[in-house]
Chains A and B, each alone.
Chain A
């Protein structure tokens, strides 16, 4: 019963959260292209728009914090180490808590 409830719960959560973006996935690019064709936009105008967009993207690039070198990789290895460490520490805590009881018996 518990497994069934878990399965249904996860299925419901997963389906709601994953299907919604798919339904709303925007095909703006295609629409834009069609509109451009209808309006008779030439290649030059489109190229200019692309250049402007690229410039805007270049401007935006400066906003985030840039971590260069091996720092992101070090963070990944650190995360894995912390998770393994947490599992090991939890096991050690249980082992330590049970050991005196076993010895007293």
Chain B
């Protein structure tokens, strides 16, 4: 990561601040949860679409393959964007959870466990030097089932949140 990207990263970390423009503390904490959801959608949707398209283009061959090769240069920025926004979303979500810990229910706990599991798998994937751990965490982090579980839990959490 170059020094040029640091100001951009800093600006991205300022995203959660806008939820506090409202004077009501409860609404601010609730908005923090929406920031987490928004950051998660923005972080993951383009990344998944980009990867799926690249995989499809490589299999299709021909002109698509040439385009896929040209798109390789964009992989790193897209990945960094995915990592930064997911980190913001994770910590915003966890802060939202900690501030509302008195109303903790099983669904919120399930969501926190799933988010932490995915975060741990990313940390291991990014920072381990062991080849076997890298392969294992790459497969685990990209599990479609975990993504579906996360989406289902977020939906349930939003629906049951007002109880």
Contacts and interface: CB of A to CB of B under 8 A. Distances in A.
Chain A interface size range: 35 or more
B160 interface: yes
Given A75-B107, A76-B106, A91 B136 contact: yes
Nearest to B14: A16
Nearest to A14: B91
Contacts of A20: 16-17, 20
B13 interface: yes
Instruction: Give the dominant DSSP class at A's interface.
Output: helix
A86 B113 contact: no
A64 B127 contact: no
Chain B interface size range: 35 or more
A94 B127 contact: no
Contact of A64 (B17, B99, B109, B160): B160
B146 A64 contact: no
Interface string A3-35: 100100110111011101100111010000000
Interface of B: 13, 16-17, 20, 23-25, 28-29, 32, 87-88, 91-92, 94-95, 99, 105-107, 109-110, 113-114, 117, 123, 126-127, 129, 132, 135-136, 139-140, 143, 145-146, 149, 153, 156, 159-163
Interface of A: 2-3, 6, 9-10, 12-14, 16-18, 20-21, 24-26, 28, 60-61, 63-67, 72-73, 75-76, 78-80, 82-83, 85-87, 89-91, 93-94
